[in-house]
Amino acid sequence: MTESYEGREQTETKHLILQAYLQSLIFKVSHKSIPISYIDGFSGPWESRAQSYRDTSFGIALRCLKESQAALAAHRKKPLVRAIFCEKNRRAFLELERFVTGFASEDFKILALNDRFENIIQEAADTTADSFRLTFVDPKGWTGFGFEGLSKLGGRNSEVLINFMYDHSNRFFGDARESTKNSFYDVFDDSELSLIAASENRESKAIQIFDNKLKNITGYKYVAHSRVSRPLADRTQFILFFGTNSLSGLEVFRDAEEKAQLNYAYVRAKAKERAEEERSRQVSFPGFSKGVAETEWNMGRAAIRKEVKEAVTKRVVENPTLIYAEHKAELLQQFPIRRTEINKIINELGKAGVIAENWKEGNRRKQVPPDDCVICPNQ
């Protein structure tokens, strides 16, 4: 963990996911030969403690996009990049504007807007209509965005990353006051709030509803999410939702997630160790938190792999005509797992005789099933 994130370690995880994703974005879409646009709807800055705003979403985005553009230029490719930053607070906006405009050039366009995100959506959509577009939505609470508005920024060449402040929102799901219910309206209507409040697992119900609305209203084919816990408590603080129309986009998101979450496992273990040392006034053994983090991470990954194996085993029986690409898409949406891990699990199930190893038959003889390979039970 970098010092600028001390006391807000969970924010570093969010930023690491954004950073890892953006580092791959330009390379992923450079073959399309279209501009690349990044839209930050709630830019800040808030609580920045680092030089050059390296601990802010806009600082991270500008650095990643500039570096990736320069790397492509070395290979005689240099796509036009646009970055739109929106901030409603006047004082924060002036600070934001001073910094981001310094990155502008002929092939790196910057637009800074002092307004509410909802008010600039149409302008942002029109400005970036010819490009591949990533929209980053990171409000302080649950207001300031809605699925209807986000649908204007959707489309085939678009992706969205939304930070939903679950822990804060959860305190108000059962609030009967009209003002509270109205504040949720763009995200959850009254009936959805009632369903969440009455659920035995509010978090799972909220995720299910959010996922469905991001698909059905905003129009994304694939939606995945990543939970980020509080540093010192084993409960979810916020949930990152990712929407895309591309299977490769899902893969990039899961790759970025694992890097960030593994780092956070070490950070959380160290934060808990410091808290316990302060409470007990006793110093832990050197390397103690590292060992705890690795043990908990490995146990967590093993549990996820077990769930994925069970899900695949069930799906191939229920849907024996599905091809591998369809299985991957469902698993990448449902579980925090990478494509490479899914490949290993499929091979393990094949060797165990649970599924037929069709991809090793005839002239194919592949180590990994091709996307069009039917995955079915072993007869």
> What pLDDT was estimated at residue 227?
97
Cα separation, 377 vs 82, whole angstroms: 48
SS (H, E, C) the chain: CCHHHCCCHHHHHHHHHHHHHHHHHHHHHHHHCCCEEEEECCCCCCCCCCHHHCCCHHHHHHHHHHHHHHHHHCCCCCCCEEEEEECCCHHHHHHHHHHHHHHCECCEEEEEECCCHHHHHHHHHHHCCCCEEEEEECCCCCCCCCHHHHHHHCCCCEEEEEEECHHHHHCCCCCCCHHHHHHCCCCCCHHHHHHHHHCCCHHHHHHHHHHHHHHHCCCCCEEEEEEEECCCCCCEEEEEEEEECCHHHHHHHHHHHHHHHHHHHHHHHHHHHHHHHHHHCCCCCCCHHHHHHHHHHHHHHHHHHHHHHHHHHHHHHHCCCCEHHHHHHHHHHHCCCCHHHHHHHHHHHHHCCCECCHHHCCCCCCCCCCCCCECCECC
Asked whether residue 319 is assigned to any structural domain, the reply reads no
Cα separation, 37 vs 326, whole angstroms: 29
Q: Tokens representing 208?
A: 């299910």
Please tell me the pTM assigned to this model. 0.95
Asked whether residue 206 is assigned to any structural domain, the reply reads yes
Phi-psi region of 47 (alpha: psi -120 to 50; beta: other; left: phi over 0): left
Asked whether residue 296 is assigned to any structural domain, the reply reads no
Query: CA 360 → CA 148, 309, 313, 366, 375, distances in Å?
Result: 46, 20, 19, 6, 12
Asked whether residue 18 is assigned to any structural domain, the reply reads yes
Based on the number of CB atoms within 10 Å of its own CB, is 331 exposed (0-12), middle (13-18) or buried (19 or more)? Answer: buried
Query: CA 309 → CA 46, 261, 264, distances in Å?
Result: 42, 22, 26
> What pLDDT was estimated at residue 76?
81
Q: For 243, phi and psi rounded to 5 degrees?
A: -115, 135
pLDDT in tens, the chain (379 residues): 577 788 888 999 999 999 999 998 888 888 788 999 999 999 999 878 877 899 999 999 999 999 999 998 888 888 899 999 999 999 999 999 999 999 999 999 999 999 999 999 999 999 999 999 999 999 988 999 999 999 999 999 999 999 999 999 999 998 989 999 999 999 999 999 999 999 999 999 999 999 999 999 999 999 999 999 999 999 999 999 999 999 999 999 999 999 999 999 999 999 898 888 888 888 777 788 899 999 999 999 999 999 999 999 999 999 999 999 999 999 999 999 999 999 999 999 999 999 999 898 876 667 889 999 999 999 7
Domain count, the chain: 1
Asked whether residue 340 is assigned to any structural domain, the reply reads no
Angle at 12 between CA 9 and CA 67, to 5 degrees: 160
Parent domain of 127: 3-246
Residue appearing with tokens 């949720």 = 184
Asked whether residue 260 is assigned to any structural domain, the reply reads no
Q: Which CATH number goes with the domain that contains 65?
A: 3.40.50.150
Asked whether residue 321 is assigned to any structural domain, the reply reads no
Asked whether residue 36 is assigned to any structural domain, the reply reads yes
Amino acid letter, residue 369 = P
